Structure 1
């Protein structure tokens, strides 16, 4: 059928399974909006107060569902307003497709009104990007964008579409089904066997996992490995919610702002098995002091992360769920009673230290008999007792983020959303809107006064979209 480029965008979004689009209109995308309006029964458009809020909302949608989030903005300042959201998604491996308008092809490079080289600007903060100058290439480019966003290590992809490409017409044939992610390279049998041998020789194994366990749907496989080798579990900030907080093997988040027991157990281990984690500076502290007492097996889908920050004795590149499942199958079952006893001692020491630090904090804050103060953990406990276990918990960035990460009991993957790698203040409200729209679940945002003020205009989006979000500042 012969349709416009704008019509191709709308049809291809539907074809790729997009049911919700976040964004803000403008002159260079007006044709896209006309085409999207014609498909309003199949694609819900969510008008945000700001393009950054739209990017965060698409991010929240993607994290809460595992689907590709989609956002649209006009050229120039509209496109550049997406950059912080794209960088947030890029560092946290969130699949997004951002569609931007641009001036007509004949005006590109002439400093035209609201023209900016968004492909160049976005290059460091996207997994890939495109500018489409031929309408005949538009559909396949969008399909490729969705494929790239969700295959391998997920990430954001930007597609820039000049205005004349949106109005040009060509033949379009929809594909019968969304394209599937390309097959990834499976983990080497030889390297998995080496890992099994290292595990067999270890007396104090520790499993450290990150957000790759969530994006790779590998929670059950990680727990099965931990049970078989009798290992405690700790995670990065991005790994929270992958396993239940109350699981007997889970010690919590490790690192700079993590739980004492998790960090101490990792330090005392003789073997650390890192799964879908990137060893950021907040997880390792000073690199020269990290891993002096233990060997590392590092498994990740992204080869660029292997030996990037910390040198591992054994690296394995491959799809995490498959690799961990195969590793568990060839690993001998072991029990470490002395190690388990030490882990329990570390748990007790953490409880003592936590109470002590709370007491010191309350002394510093002072007290007033007429207006007693609630401890921050008491507020978090009260919220967790009042909402369902599958509620989606979102945080902004700051001390409240770490308090929530340390304390809130999580039970289901994809129920903890936060900006980890970039640490984006102002992320929370937009992400909460996106998560609620995606899931319809009770959504709670923990934020600080600074973070809340940065994108508080997205409250208008929450109201207009009837998003049932509880905000705690």
Structure 2
């Protein structure tokens, strides 16, 4: 292959990757996550284009990091991998990005056209493998299609909110790439127009006639409530505000109308509001199972559920009520212009505020009660973090047996300025532990804390060196129960033993993370040392180190019980020691 360019085309083997890197840079991309193919062309191209390439040890972790980056920043996360098994290693990450509605672009290598079907090294029909998990998938077989394909992929990722995939097969690298001049940034699709709310619109009529409304804020509202319009709408209508787990950080949870998370995580004090509401307004939510868990039977039947989503496929069509295809933030702003300007008073608003107050009062009583126990509780760890960390912290969460305490409002509260990044309904194990680095790189000036179990942490541990290299100021709080606590609890409650299997190792409860230069570790010795240990861990993280705070915990200290027979969700359990 000749490397000599002529006047019309560049024939460098790296030309395709160089063009791809230039398109990314022109689109605003500054950081790429991944593990490049062994030809190193992608790495070289990123370097020449001025992109930061975060070299990961595991392709799944790279996708998790890019997804975390996308969720936190609102921009398109980018990952680059090789071909064959490198692509299959990304599938869990693509699944998580899809379920999280995270804009993500995966670029991979691929078998050249001349070798397809010959049993070539690492040959795989990668398009068929990734297609069910992405919004758009393309293989670029002709150099003239490279730039327009990348532009289309970026547009789809941005505006359909999900992962996309582009394959650059090996033969493309050896063909002349016609220069496209300075690659232009993909033309940004217009933000959906403000949703006009004529007097007769079903959505506005539902809002106007509701006397006991609930606003349910989903992940589709992230980055769409900068003017606190949701809180203003709640004040205008007297509505209670709830959020889904993925919607946390969108609204100020200190607002007197905020009453916690919906569905599985609904505070006991707030359940009567769901029984008595006459209208639920779901903003940017797919209304997945955890968000609607134990909803009263009448919701979506006798009681309307008004849904606002940007993508029609996200509507729950079994529920009765108006469906607005629009940007949820734009819809809220439009409604505010059409509704009366005065704040709503009346019995419902007063009842909502009383629930908010009761949730906080009961939480303080719970923590005060736990303080009298000699045992250390996870709820107390969250209280210590809340006392020590700055107000603009971002908590990156997992969804295992015991890290779910962080979902219990207000043990962790996303007041104005604080943030939260959680796994999707897929709850891919290890997502939060790996995504935390992507979140940190997207928000370098803010404290980022990963609140994870030791099983999830172990799955992401291959990329601890990556975190040390790139994630200064990152704190991992690792709850150590000796392994996969959720599975152990399920095993322990079976009536008949299942061999001598175990999912946890009691000896591992006190085991630290692997020793690694540049990684600082603090282990909580007991309840008396907790405050000082948290303060030391944060002091080291605030100074720019990557810190692991090891917290030995007991399996019995679980937010949920273990009755999941038949696929049902567990019921709330009292904290151990209470």
Measure how far apart 1:85 and its partner are.
0.8
Q: Cα RMSD over matched residues?
A: 2.6
Which among 213, 224, 227 is matched to residue 221 of structure 2?
213
Q: Give secondary structure in 1 for the equivalent of 2:45.
A: helix
Structure 1 counterpart of 2:460: 455
CA offset digits 1:61-116 (Å, max 9, x no partner): 11121111100000011111111111101111111100010011112233322122
Q: 1:159 aligns to what?
A: 166
Gap runs ≥5 in structure 1: none
| Alignment partner of 2:428 out of 409, 419, 424 | 424
Instruction: Choose from 13, 19, 23 the match for 1:8.
Output: 19
The residue number in structure 1 matching 2:187 is 179
CA contact (8 A) 2:436 2:450 kept: yes
Of residues 129-138 and 287-296 in structure 1, the stretch that sits farther from structure 2 once superposed is: 287-296
How far the C-alpha of 1:288 sits from its partner, in A, is 8.3
Q: Give me the whole-angstrom Cα distance separating, in 1, the residues matched to 2:143 and 2:416.
A: 43
Structure 2 Cα separation of the partners of residues 192 and 19 of structure 1: 46
Q: How many residues align?
A: 461
- Look up the SS of the partner of 2:254 in the other structure: coil
SS of 2:216's equivalent in the other structure is strand
The 5-angstrom pairing of residues 52-451 of structure 1 reads: 52-151=60-159, 153-172=160-179, 173-184=181-192, 187=195, 189-190=197-198, 193-217=201-225, 220-285=228-293, 289=297, 291=299, 294-308=303-317, 310-332=318-340, 333=342, 335-347=344-356, 350=359, 372-406=374-408, 407-412=411-416, 415-440=419-444, 441-451=446-456
SS in 2 for 1:456: helix
336-345 or 228-237, which moves further after superposition? 336-345
Call closer, same or farther: CA 1:349–1:37 in 2, change over 3 Å: closer
Gaps in structure 2 of 5+ consecutive residues = 1-7, 479-578
Paired position in structure 2 for 1:35: 45
CA separation of 1:250 and 1:195: change in aligned 2, threshold 3 A:
same
Mean CA deviation greater in 278-287 or 450-459? 278-287
When the two structures are superposed, what TM-score results if normalisation uses the length of structure 2? Answer: 0.74
* Aligned mates of 1:296, 1:132 — CA distance in 2: 43
- Between 1:400-409 and 1:190-199, the stretch displaced more is 190-199
1:61·1:435 contact (CA, 8 Å) conserved in 2? Answer: yes
SS of 1:17's equivalent? coil
1:67, 1:458 → 2: CA distance? Answer: 23
- Higher helix fraction: Structure 1 or Structure 2? 1
Higher relative contact order (CA 8 A, sep 6+): 1
Distance 1:293 1:261, change over 3 A: farther
1:32-61 alpha-carbon deviations (Å, 9 max, x no partner): 22322333xx10111111001111111111
| Structure 1 position 143, deviation (Å) | 1.3
Deviation at 1:327, TM superposition (A): 1.3
SS of the residue aligned with 2:461? coil
Q: CA deviation at 1:438?
A: 2.1
TM-score normalised to the size of structure 1? Answer: 0.90
Task: Please give the alpha-carbon distance, in whole angstroms, between the structure 1 residues aligned to 2:345 and 2:462.
Answer: 54
Is the Cα contact below 8 Å between 1:48 and 1:458 reproduced in 2?
yes
Give CA-to-partner distance per residue, 1:150-192, whole Å, 9 cap, x none: 11x4111111110111232222222444421345476464597
Q: Distance in 2 between matches of 1:331 and 1:62?
A: 34
Larger-Rg structure: 2
For the residue of structure 2 that corresponds to 1:256, the secondary structure is: helix
* Residues 182, 212 of structure 1: alpha-carbon distance in 2 compared, 3 angstrom cutoff: same
Deviations 1:360-413 (A, max 9, x none): 9x79xx96xxxx322222111111221211122111221344311222122357
Seen in structure 2, the aligned counterparts of structure 1 residues 187 and 124 have a Cα distance that, compared at 3 Å, is farther
Q: Is the 8 A contact 1:58 1:71 kept in 2?
A: yes
For the residues of structure 2 that align with 1:277 and 1:142, how far apart are their CA atoms?
28
